[in-house]
């Protein structure tokens, strides 16, 4: 199946080096999906009757969405590539996804949006860790 991320990587005019393009594609796609899930979850939390009980969840959702968005952007740029920056942002993204996934999981029994968000966070965390490991 073709994806915009995969198609854009395939059209890059310079050599992408030794990076595993399948893992890079998966990581970018997971970051985008996670950012969307976290943004939607934060918004849904704000609509819940007990919004005060969800303050930490909202905050971690917003932080995770911002970090995932930034990670997808950094991973999509290849000119002047800096492996140290890539490694650092992958670690930060995995950490944010773990924190958000853990927090959303606490509310998953009561709020379906938190369950879905926790799953997206876990998937993104795994994709970031897999790409980080592949960087060598």
Residue boundaries of the structural domains of the chain: 20-134
For residue 12, the model assigns a pLDDT of 80
Half-sphere exposure of 53 (CA within 13 A, CB side): 8
Which H helix or E strand runs over 59? Answer: helix 55-76
pLDDT tens digits, the chain, 136 residues: what are they? 568 988 888 888 777 778 888 999 999 999 999 999 999 999 999 999 989 999 999 999 999 999 999 999 999 988 877 889 999 999 999 999 999 999 999 999 999 999 999 999 999 999 999 999 998 7
Q: Which CATH architecture has domain 20-134?
A: Up-down Bundle (1.20)
Query: What does the pLDDT look like over 44-67, one tens digit per residue?
Result: 999 999 899 999 999 999 999 999
The Cα–Cα gap between 55 and 29 comes to 27
What CA–CA distances, in Å, run from 29 to 8, 25, 52, 55? Answer: 12, 6, 32, 27
This model's pTM is above 0.85 = yes
């Amino acid at each position: 199946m073709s994806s915009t991320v995969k198609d854009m990587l395939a059209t890059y005019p310079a050599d992408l080096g030794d990076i595993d393009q399948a893992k890079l594609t998966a990581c970018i796609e997971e970051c985008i999906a996670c950012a969307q899930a976290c943004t939607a979850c934060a918004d849904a939390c704000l609509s819940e009757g007990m919004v005060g009980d969800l303050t930490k969840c909202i905050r971690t959702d917003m932080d995770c969405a911002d970090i995932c968005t930034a990670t997808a952007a950094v991973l999509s740029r290849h000119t002047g590539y800096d492996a140290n920056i890539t490694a650092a942002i992958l670690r930060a993204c995995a950490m944010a996804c773990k924190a958000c996934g853990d927090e959303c999981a606490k509310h998953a029994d009561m709020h379906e949006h938190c369950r879905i968000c926790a799953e997206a966070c876990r998937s993104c965390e795994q994709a970031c860790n897999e790409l980080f490991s592949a960087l060598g």
